[in-house]
Every structure is written in C-alpha cells, then in structure tokens.
Structure 1
C-alpha cells in the first residue's frame, strides 16, 4: 500500500514537471515569435519604401529561336544582356550564337539570355566573375563596377560619335589596353557593339540647362555617370535598368540618361515624350567572357571563338549607325519632340565635364599585372589620339 502511494506520488510529480516544462517551452516560443516580429518591424523601418512592381510575364525568345538542336554541343556558354534584341547591339548575341555554331560544326553553343532574364547588370557581373555564367554583353556604364578603365568611353565628349568610336577601335594598342580592363578580375574583353548616342529622354521639354536642373534623371549604377552628373550640377537617381519602367510611370523619375534608339525600342517614349540630343557619349555593349571557361577550350576553338566575336561585332556596328537614324525618324513620326541645347550651353557642359576627366583619370590610368601595354598616362594618350576628330 505504501509502495503504491509512493509510486502515485512520483507519477504526480513527473506529470507536474512535464507540464511545467511544456508551459515554459510555450512561453519561450511565444517570446521568440514576438522577438522575430519586433525584428521584422525594425527591419521594415530601416528599408526605404519601394514602388510596387506588378508581376509581368517573361519575355519570349521565340522570335530568335535557333534553327538547330544545341543538345549535342560539347561546350555551352551562357551569355547575358540587359536589353532588347531588336537593338542591333544586343542582337549580336544571337548572331554570335548562330555563326559560332556554324564555324565550330556544332561544338560550341551560346545560350544567349537578353531582357535582363538573369537579373540586373551588377548582379550578373558577379555571376560571371564566379563562373556561374560564361559571358555577358555588359553596358559600358555598368562595366566600370569591375573594370574602371571601361569608364573611359563614358567620359563626356571624348568618344561621342560613331566616327570617333571607329577611330578608337582601330587604334591598336589603345583599344587593346581598353579591352583588358577586367583581366585582373578573371574576365576577358573581346569586342564591342553599340546602342547609340546619349542624351535625355524626359516627360517635360528640356531646352536649357535650367530646364534640366528641374528633372529627376535616372542614371545607371556607374561611378563615372554619378561623377559627371555631379559636375553638371544635377541630382540624378541611380537605378537598375529593370526598375525603370515602373519608376517612370509612377513619377519616381521624370527623365532618363540614355539613347534615343533604346528609348524608342523599349517603349520609354510612351511616357517620356521629349528627347534632348546631347551626343555626349556613345553607349556600348562590351562582350566579356570568363577567362577560366575560355582557357578550357581547345586552342583551335579559342581561335575560332575570338574571330567569330570580332567579325560579328564589326558587322553589327555598321548596322547600328543606320538603326539610330531609323529609330529617331520613327520616334518623330510618333510625335516625340527632339531638342538641342544652344552652342553656348553645350560649351558649358563640355567645360564642366572636363572635371570628370580629371577626377576619374587615376582609375582609368590604373595598371594591373596582366597589362602588356603600360602607358604612364593612358587617358592623356587617348585624348591626344581623339583630338580633332568629330
């Protein structure tokens, strides 16, 4: 009887202990949930409010589908681009795909992904450096994030026409040195295509510098552009390209630093119905590739790869000159108004832009271990070479 009573007492104690333990665990769980909830609230306070971006269907690549079965390729090269393949400089990726397939008898397949399918440019540059993808047609404005020397092309009024660009490409050692800008990052530059001359697409007419100072211009995530707009006395909004359509429609920005070709093809002129032609810089797509991937190709395929990229880019650059003319004409037919600043105000922008050259010169002139050409002042050499060319 006593033993039964003791067992009962022990059972009751055990039940009480278990109940106490469960109750304590419940309290701790609730406390943790409250802490998580509080931390989420605090995190929300720190985040800047963002415009709601409506979900949209992915862009179809059916119009540019390959007319061959790539499944038998020995080597696959995923190549990214931020923009629309109706732009000739972007379409170059598909042209490289088809020509390389033909020249290598189906050994190399370029899986080209335009339309920002893999994300914004800064994000994709990191993917390329890590080897998650093998290539990219990166815009010259974003390229400076891993290769500051690429910022040379963005300097105001230095290489700001198709004629100047052709001269620079034919310069030999100067252009070759330019294309080595990311070599120290494990990324090789092969060639360039373009997307026209930079100016301002705006929702209100901009005919003077005073007009421009009232505009919230979107600029790319690029050090040279930020510096240049600072020297011009403007207040730009740095924004990834995929965010632009919504920001423009919602009034977060009311101007774009871009080219008329891109604005017309990507339908930015549906909102920004005015364009001020500055022609202060050429927009480039720089075709860059992961060195480790490239070096694993057999030597004969390496040679074919380089030759193909060069040949395609040379042909596309010729088409781009005419495309800009055609796109401006099409935009005008649709009611887009084009303006130019007065000569005196253009001189002001040039003078102020010289400070950008000086400020960014150290980064452009920086030499790296892989550079075979080692000038004391690369920027000065390019400035002298381009002098007297319109």
Structure 2
C-alpha cells in the first residue's frame, strides 16, 4: 500500500514535469521551424535562372503595350541576343510605352508549335529559324537552298538588294504575319560523333534536321539519312545515340554544348543559319502610327548591327571549339562539287513554291528565284 501511495503521489509530479518538457521542446521546434521558413525563400532566391543576366533594368509593368516574342536558342549568340537589344532600345525610344517581352531558350516550346501561337495571336512575335519558317511561308525556303545564300557576304548582298529582299520578307503576309528583318547564327555544316571527311562516312550518320521541308528535300537529294526532330529534343537524343549528327552551325553547337558529345565538325557551308524576325500583323497594325514606326526602325537598326557582330562571333566560337578538342574537317573539292550538283535539284523542286505570288505582293517577277540566283552569282558548277 505504501508503494501504491508513493507511486500515486509522484505520478502527478512526473506528468507535470513531462508536460513541461514537451511544451518546451514544442516551442523550440516551432521557433526553429519559423527560422527555416524565413530562410527558405532566401535559398530559392539564390537559385540562378539562365536568363538572370539579361533581366531588364526597368519596371515593365508600366508599359502600355506588351509584345511577347519567342526564340528557341541561347542568347549568348548575337543573333539571339538581338531580342534583348531590341527590348532595351525600344523601351528607351518609346519612353517606356512598349515592352518587348523576349523569351528565348524554347521557353514557349518548339518552333512549329510557336508559329501556330503567333498566327493565332497568342504571342506577338518570333525570331524563327529560316529552316522552320517555310512551314508558314514557303518563299522563306529560298535561303535554305544549298549554296545560294551561303556566306556572310552573300547575305549582306541579298539584304541590300532592295525589292528582292523586300519580296522575300513578305513570305508570311498571307498568314497574317509580317517579316521585318534578319539576324544570323553562322554557316551550316555537320557536327558528328565520328569523323566525316568524305561522303561515304556521312552516309553512316543519322543526321538530325529541323522540321523543315526544304531540308528534308536536300538530304534526300544528297542520299543521306535525316531524322526530323524539334530542337528541344536534341540533347537527350544525341546523348542516347538516337541521332549521331547535327545539321547545324559551329556557333550553335559550341554555345549549346553539343560538341561535348559530337566532337567532330565538317564545314560544308551550304547555307547561312538565319533568324527571321516576324510579328503578328494585326498586333503590329494596332499600335499607334508613331509607335509602330519606332518599333520597325528599332528592329532594323538592331538587326543590322547584330549581323556585323555575328561574323566575328563565328570565328571566335570555332577557335574556342578547336581549343577544346573539337576536330574540324572539309570535304574534297570533287565531293563538294557533287553536293552542289545534287543540291541543284532542290532549287528546281522548290522553284514553283518560291516563285508563287500572293494577292498582296507588290513585286511580281516572272521568275523570282532566277532573279535572286542571278543577283548572287549562283551557278551549278
């Protein structure tokens, strides 16, 4: 009985002591939890976004007009960075009335998908690659034809050709899309996982090409094996061996780290990689006349300056790739001549589409492709 009384007497004390300890621990844990909650946002804030370095130094929420513009590639490339240069110059020149909300790095999806968004007016603009642009404007396929606009000098010549270039930029007008200007990303060739120094080696490569009919026609003419694939799918496909080569430029391959897997590059230089800056026509026309004129002027001025910088950037990127172990090759002259001869069939196959005139075309040549070929000195031999 004494033991029971003692236990009962002490029980209340033990319970109260235990309760006190639990409350103290609970308060301590709650305090630590609150500290953790306060520190959590700081941890998230330190996570760097790929676009942090290009954030605007102004408050875009005050703009009267917003223009969402897409691009699939990386703004380290001058031709892609142009969007940020347009954004900042446009903000300055319009007194903060237009915010050019630029979204590179495939933030809005692949090019074919985004072209549809542009046509519907869900976004207002796009720096679309020339290879994908043919999906809504077959005339844009002109610059993808092999060995036609295949150097920086020829590109400048074409851009300064007056009505020839103006007619080219109207390729999507019938789709409700206005083309304004061009920036570039270098000269097209082959990045591969094994060396390609002659055409029989190229025949063993599974080349990724863009979702573009002209490119498909070209690879068929060359007798090579293309794999049509959206650009966002390329990194995984290359690492897994689904593809073993890329139809692309050395600048793009180096900046986007494709050379980490495909360590060989064959300089075919059959075309210039171009971004065509296109905008929803209805949105562009909705701007007040003075703002629309400023918008167009800024796009032209920035693109002209960026094209100059792109030349130097390609040389620098090739030098950097070589310094990091990428091997560069050229094909024998006879095989290059063969590529050109076979590629001429693509000129002939696309001639009707490229020459087709729309109701709104003011320049109405009988043979537009022939005029461009003559202007740029294109020959099969």
* Distance change (3 Å), C-alpha of 1:105 and 1:162: same
2:63 to 59, 70, 73: 73
Contact 2:78-2:313 within 8 A present in 1 as well: yes
Residues 23-45 of structure 1 deviation map (CA, whole Å, 9 limit, x = unaligned): xxxxxxxxxxxxxxxxxxxxxxx
Counterpart position of 1:260: 250
Which consecutive residues of structure 1, in runs of 5 or more, have no partner in the other structure?
1-56
Corresponding residue for 2:84?
Answer: 94
Could you tell me how far 1:388 is from its partner in structure 2? 6.7
Deviations 1:83-104 (A, max 9, x none): 0000000000000000000000
Q: For residue 225 of structure 2, give the secondary structure of its aligned residue in structure 1.
A: coil
1:358 equivalent in alignment to 2:358: no
Q: What is the CA–CA distance in structure 2 between the aligned matches of 1:233 and 1:284, rounded to whole Å?
A: 25
The correspondence for 1:213, drawn from 178, 203, 210, is 203
Question: 1:317 corresponds to which residue?
Answer: 307
User: Structure 2 residue aligned with 1:113, among 103, 126, 149?
Assistant: 103
User: How much has 1:60 moved relative to structure 2?
Assistant: 2.7
Matched, 1:280 2:270: yes
After TM superposition, the structure 1 = structure 2 runs for residues 1-390 of structure 1, keeping only pairs within 5 Å, are 60-387=50-377
Q: Are the counterparts in 2 of residues 59 and 115 from structure 1 also a CA contact under 8 Å? A: no
Q: Give the match for residue 25 of structure 1.
A: none
Q: Is the 8 A contact 2:355 2:369 kept in 1?
A: yes
TM-score normalized with structure 2 length:
0.86
CA distance in 2, matches of 1:104, 1:254: 47
Shift of 1:58: 10
SS at match of 1:236: strand
Provide the secondary structure at the position in 2 that maps to 1:84. Answer: coil
Q: Is the 8 A contact 1:150 1:178 kept in 2?
A: yes
For residues 290-330 of structure 1, what are the alpha-carbon distances to aligned partners after superposition, in whole Å with 9 as ceiling and x for unaligned?
00001010000111001000000000000000000000000
**Corresponding residue for residue 25 of structure 2:** none
Give distance in 2, aligned partners of 1:288 and 1:276: 31
Does the Cα contact within 8 Å between 2:147 and 2:378 map onto a contact in 1?
Answer: no
**Structure 2 contact 132–210 (Cα < 8 Å) conserved:** yes
d(CA) in 1 for partners of 2:202 and 2:338? 13
Displacement of 1:59: 5.3
Contact 2:137/2:171 (8 A) holds in 1: yes
Q: Is the 8 A contact 1:77 1:109 kept in 2?
A: yes
Paired residue for 1:33? none
Number of residue-to-residue matches in the alignment: 333
Q: Which residue of 2 aligns with 1:7?
A: none
SS in 2 for 1:331: helix
Change in Cα spacing, 1:58 to 1:137, as seen in structure 2 (3 Å) is farther
TM-score, normalised to structure 1's length?
A: 0.84
Q: Distance in 1 between matches of 2:149 and 2:286?
A: 35
Once residues 49 and 377 of structure 2 are traced to their aligned partners in structure 1, the CA distance between those partners, rounded to angstroms, is 43
Q: Show structure 1 runs of 4+ deviating over 3 A.
A: none
Q: Which runs of 5+ in 2 are unaligned?
A: 1-46
Q: Provide Cα deviations, 1:222-277, integer angstroms capped at 9, x if missing partner.
A: 00000000000011000000000000000000000000000000000000000000
Pairwise CA distance, 1:369: 1.0
Secondary structure of 2:102 counterpart: strand
Counterpart Cα distance in 2 of 1:65 and 1:125: 25
CA distance, structure 1, for counterparts of residue 365 and residue 65 of structure 2? 37
Indicate the SS of the match to 2:246. strand
For 2:250 and 2:257, locate their aligned partners in 1 and report how far apart those are by CA, in whole Å: 10
